[in-house]
């Protein structure tokens, strides 16, 4: 149904006045190194994570650069075969365990979950700080293993190679990942308890922002799956150090057992990575299309659905590993199921965009990039879930392209969307609108050039993790490396303009995007305890059609298509129903 | 809200004391756990690798895990959400075992 809302003047309360500049915010509340290292403020801990994972993203990116440069020539351009093995393992370990998994939950989850539900902090502030220290301890061990010579097993650490034959630094790397897993559990536990126990008055489950629902589902996976991989990695150490036969068949072990236990975590871990990104996208798409989310409950419950179904399909990674044919059939069928909640999200996002007042600021460009790349990544996943085609495509570059479309095209784009969306709130500064849009476009173009050729060479038989390949694949590898170079430039651009914004950026208003969430009711940057008074929530999280925030107050004028948010000075106009046709949904 | 007027409620208005563990109970549970651990080791030595050994040992280990969860992890005092969370972890473990077994129990079957 579609109705036309006439401009009748504000029906809601007028927009709140710009909060007075707070003399003490979380950033200027102490400048010493100790005020950061011993902080229990969820916002500062979020910033600690942001700095840490940015370093690991850079390190993982350098390893990826070595891999791509080496593949410029069929016989390897720059490193030996052994060094190549260590480079792609370092890339996988760094990116997965120390960037993708903590990226959104530990940075934006820590920073924004309490603000979005109207709380002053997470439920366990000291546990939150402990999680960062545990994460850093694990990360330091993993980095040490890389610097001391690296690991050559691939990030999957399959035995018996990892336990019997590998001459690389498996144990410190494995212990590093094992330790960092506890950090993930702590963060998940903290977020889950906070959502259950600390919601503001009126913040019912049906009024939670979809980012909060996504983080809740993510926390569920973190809590239930991470212990399994932790014990599995510990068993690798036990077998490698003591020679106890657990996975090595020559001493009575079962290597398939490792793969079952590893993927019981590592496939749901894919959803630890992508679900928070999906939550970010729901926030950004609604804000920059000025529309209520289409199908709130469907999107919310699809997050939980993905978390649950994600546990049932791990063995599609093992179709050619020697598992039972009947089990393979079962897992193939179950793998198809996860397409349902994923598709629900995509259809609802698309319906949200339909007839919205879309503006293409940087967060929106990243979010749209997410949707397109995730669709491609998701659809190619169906090829791999299908038993017959997976036999052909298993361990080829098709798989590499598929999971990079989901993880990088999806999750990293979601991360950048969130970073650009919430940066003004986190830092109190606006970044360059033009440069940020350019970076988004460069990243999307670079991404396509990097990974589309990999689908082709993978389908035609180029295996992953091989440093050598037939000459006829060279042109595609050169294209891929060229794309990776563009992608690298695109990723470095935000480092420059976001850093510059800290010093030269215009001060951000409390609500520069005219968004509805509670986090935008705090000053930018937020005060130490977020809210002066506990907010009372009176409506849903995305009431853009009637132009009110979650406290029922009007919204400032949204930024227009040609409006540079960096030039806006706070509230510029009245709130009220927008003079446009709007879709009544749900 | 009316003030509680019983002597017990005034003495412990937030019901904290009833959540505090009794040290004697904890020590008793600890002793039982150690006893079960010793029994497990003893069974291993006495019975050897028979068909019954592993199920029996797993049963003892399950009782131990239950005691730890109920007393030391405070499920005894947990509300419904906490108990539901604990049960959900068992459910998840069930998923792990059932789908594992879907592979292991059918691996020997020949197709066609």
The answer to whether B107 contacts A331, with C-beta atoms less than 8 Å apart, is: no
Cβ atoms of B69 and B33 closer than 8 Å: no
| % pLDDT > 90, chain A | 87
Cβ atoms of A240 and A72 closer than 8 Å: no
For chain A, say whether B100 makes contact (Cβ under 8 Å): yes
Predicted confidence (pLDDT) at residue A576 exceeds the cutoff of 90 = no
Mean pLDDT confidence for A337-365: 95
Cβ atoms of A187 and A276 closer than 8 Å: no
CA distance A437 to A362: 5
Helices A413-427, A362-385: crossing angle, 10 deg rounding? 150
**Band (B50; pLDDT cuts 50, 70, 90):** confident
The answer to whether B103 contacts A311, with C-beta atoms less than 8 Å apart, is: no
CA distance A282 to chain B (A): 27
The pLDDT assigned to B22 comes to 84
CA distance A68 to A417: 26
For chain A, say whether B107 makes contact (Cβ under 8 Å): yes
For chain A, say whether B99 makes contact (Cβ under 8 Å): yes
Q: What is the chain A residue with the closest CA to B87?
A: A224
In sign, the C-alpha dihedral spanning A532, A538, A540, A543 is negative
Please state the φ and ψ torsions of residue A479, each to the nearest 5 degrees: -60, -45
The pLDDT assigned to A559 comes to 79
Predicted confidence (pLDDT) at residue B5 exceeds the cutoff of 70 = no
Q: What is the chain B residue with the closest CA to A334?
A: B99
- B81 chain-A contacts, CB cut-off 8 A: 196
- When the pLDDT of each residue in chain A is averaged and rounded to a whole number, the result is 91
Could you say which of B81, B95, B102 has the minimum Cβ distance to residue A327?
Answer: B102
- What residues contact residue A283 under an 8 Å CB cut-off, 6+ apart? A209, A210, A211, A418, A421, A515, A517
Q: Is B109 exposed, middle or buried (0-12, 13-18, 19+ CB in 10 A)?
A: exposed
**Band (B80; pLDDT cuts 50, 70, 90):** confident
In this structure, which long-range contacts are made by residues B42-50, counting pairs with CB atoms below 8 Å and at least 24 apart in sequence?
none
The answer to whether B92 contacts A256, with C-beta atoms less than 8 Å apart, is: no
The pLDDT assigned to A568 comes to 53
Taking any CB pair shorter than 8 Å as contact, residues of chain A touching chain B are 196, 224, 228, 256, 260, 264, 311-312, 314-315, 323-327, 330-331
- CA trace torsion B82, B86, B87, B90 (10° rounding): 170
Instruction: Give the pLDDT confidence of A481-491 residue by residue, as tens digits.
Output: 999 999 999 99
Cβ atoms of A464 and A397 closer than 8 Å: yes
Instruction: Give the pLDDT confidence of A507-563 residue by residue, as tens digits.
Output: 998 999 999 999 999 999 999 999 989 999 999 999 998 889 999 998 888 876 556
CA distance readout (Å), A381 to A173, A303, A348, A416: 29, 18, 20, 23
The pLDDT assigned to A24 comes to 86
For chain A, say whether B91 makes contact (Cβ under 8 Å): no
Q: Pick the residue of A326, A328, A332 with the most B CBs within 10 A to test the interface with B by mutation.
A: A326
In sign, the C-alpha dihedral spanning A54, A59, A62, A63 is negative
Strand partners, A530: A527
Residue A80: count of CB within 10 angstroms of its CB: 11
Strand partners, A3: A582
The answer to whether A264 contacts B96, with C-beta atoms less than 8 Å apart, is: yes
Predicted confidence (pLDDT) at residue A439 exceeds the cutoff of 70 = yes
* Domain regions of chain B by residue span: 23-77, 79-112
CA distance A451 to A474: 14
CA A114 to chain centre: 19
State which H helix or E strand residue A239 sits in. Answer: helix A210-242
Q: SS3 helix, strand, coil % of chain B, rounded to 5?
A: 70, 0, 30
The pLDDT assigned to A23 comes to 75
Instruction: Give the pLDDT confidence of A274-316 residue by residue, as tens digits.
Output: 999 999 999 999 999 999 999 999 999 999 999 999 999 999 9
Instruction: Give the pLDDT confidence of A84-116 residue by residue, as tens digits.
Output: 999 999 999 999 999 999 999 999 999 999 999
The answer to whether A196 contacts B81, with C-beta atoms less than 8 Å apart, is: yes
- B88 chain-A contacts, CB cut-off 8 A: 224
Q: What is the chain A residue with the closest CA to B82?
A: A193
- A315 chain-B contacts, CB cut-off 8 A: 99, 103
Strand partners, A2: A583
- What residues contact residue A442 under an 8 Å CB cut-off, 6+ apart? A486, A489, A490, A493
Could you say which of A228, A256, A330 has the minimum Cβ distance to residue B102?
Answer: A330
In sign, the C-alpha dihedral spanning A158, A161, A163, A169 is negative
CATH of A2-16+39-583, one of 1.20.210.10, 3.40.47.10, 3.10.129.10, 3.20.20.70: 1.20.210.10
The pLDDT assigned to A20 comes to 67
The pLDDT assigned to A210 comes to 97
CA distance A258 to A229: 10
Q: CB-hemisphere CA count at 13 Å for A530?
A: 23
| % pLDDT > 90, chain B | 46
């Amino acid at each position: 149904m579609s109705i036309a809302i006439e401009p009748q003047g504000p029906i809601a309360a007028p927009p709140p006045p710009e909060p007075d500049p707070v003399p003490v915010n979380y950033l200027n509340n102490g400048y010493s190194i100790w005020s950061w290292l011993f902080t229990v403020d969820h916002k500062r801990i979020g910033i600690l994570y942001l700095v840490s994972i940015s370093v690991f993203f850079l390190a993982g990116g350098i390893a990826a650069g070595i891999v791509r440069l080496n593949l410029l020539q069929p016989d390897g351009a720059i490193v030996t075969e052994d060094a190549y093995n260590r480079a792609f393992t370092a890339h996988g370990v760094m990116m997965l365990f120390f960037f993708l998994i903590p990226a959104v939950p530990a940075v934006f989850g820590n920073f924004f979950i309490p603000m979005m539900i109207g709380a002053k902090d997470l439920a366990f502030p000291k546990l939150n700080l402990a999680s960062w220290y545990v994460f850093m301890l694990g990360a330091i061990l993993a980095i040490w293993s890389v610097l001391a010579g690296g690991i050559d097993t691939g990030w999957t650490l399959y035995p018996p190679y990892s336990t019997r034959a590998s001459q690389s630094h498996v144990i410190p790397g494995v212990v590093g990942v094992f330790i960092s897993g506890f950090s993930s559990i702590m963060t998940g536990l903290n977020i889950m308890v906070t959502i259950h126990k600390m919601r503001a008055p009126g913040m019912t489950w049906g009024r939670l922002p979809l980012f909060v629902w996504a983080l809740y589902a993510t926390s569920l996976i973190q809590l239930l799956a991470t212990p399994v991989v932790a014990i599995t990695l510990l068993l690798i150490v036990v077998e490698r150090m003591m020679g106890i036969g657990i996975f090595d068949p020559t001493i009575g072990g079962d290597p398939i057992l490792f793969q079952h236990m590893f993927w019981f975590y590592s496939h749901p871990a894919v959803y630890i990575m992508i679900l928070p990104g999906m939550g970010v996208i729901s926030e950004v798409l609604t804000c920059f299309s000025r529309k209520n989310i289409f199908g709130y409950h469907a999107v919310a419950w699809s997050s939980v659905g993905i978390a649950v179904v994600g546990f049932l399909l791990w063995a599609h990674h093992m179709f050619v590993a020697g598992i039972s044919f009947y089990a393979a059939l079962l897992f193939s069928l179950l793998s198809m199921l996860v397409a349902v909640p994923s598709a629900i999200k995509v259809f609802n996002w698309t319906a949200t965009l339909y007839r919205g007042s879309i503006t293409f600021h940087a967060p929106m460009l990243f979010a749209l990039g997410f949707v397109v790349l995730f669709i491609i990544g998701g659809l190619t996943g169906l090829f791999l879930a299908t038993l017959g085609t997976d036999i052909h495509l298993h361990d080829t570059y098709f798989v590499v392209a598929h999971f990079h479309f989901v993880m990088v095209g999806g999750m990293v784009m979601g991360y950048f969307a969130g970073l650009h969306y919430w940066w003004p709130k986190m830092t109190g500064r606006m970044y360059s609108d033009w440069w940020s849009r350019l970076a988004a476009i460069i990243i999307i173009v670079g991404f396509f050039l990097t990974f589309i050729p990999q689908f082709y060479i993978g389908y035609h038989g180029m295996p992953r993790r091989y440093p050598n390949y037939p000459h006829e694949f060279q042109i595609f590898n050169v294209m891929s490396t060229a794309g990776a170079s563009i992608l690298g430039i695109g990723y470095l651009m935000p480092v420059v303009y976001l850093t510059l914004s800290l010093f030269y950026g215009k001060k951000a208003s409390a609500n520069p995007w005219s968004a509805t969430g509670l986090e935008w009711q705090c000053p930018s940057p937020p005060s130490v305890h977020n809210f002066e008074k506990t907010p009372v929530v009176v409506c849903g999280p995305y009431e853009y059609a009637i132009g009110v925030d979650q406290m029922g107050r009007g919204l400032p004028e949204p930024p227009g298509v040609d409006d540079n948010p960096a030039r806006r000075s706070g509230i510029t106009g009245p709130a009220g129903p927008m003079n446009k046709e709007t879709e009544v949904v749900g | 809200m009316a003030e509680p007027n019983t002597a017990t409620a005034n003495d412990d208005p937030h019901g904290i004391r009833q959540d505090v563990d009794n040290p004697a109970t904890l020590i008793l549970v600890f002793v039982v756990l150690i006893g079960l651990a010793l029994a497990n080791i003893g069974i291993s030595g006495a019975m050897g690798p028979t068909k019954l050994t592993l199920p029996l040992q797993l049963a003892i280990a399950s009782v131990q895990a239950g005691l730890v969860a109920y007393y030391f992890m405070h499920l005894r005092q947990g509300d419904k959400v906490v108990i539901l969370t604990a049960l959900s972890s068992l459910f998840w473990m069930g998923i792990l075992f059932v789908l594992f077994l879907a592979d292991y129990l059918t691996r020997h079957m020949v197709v066609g």
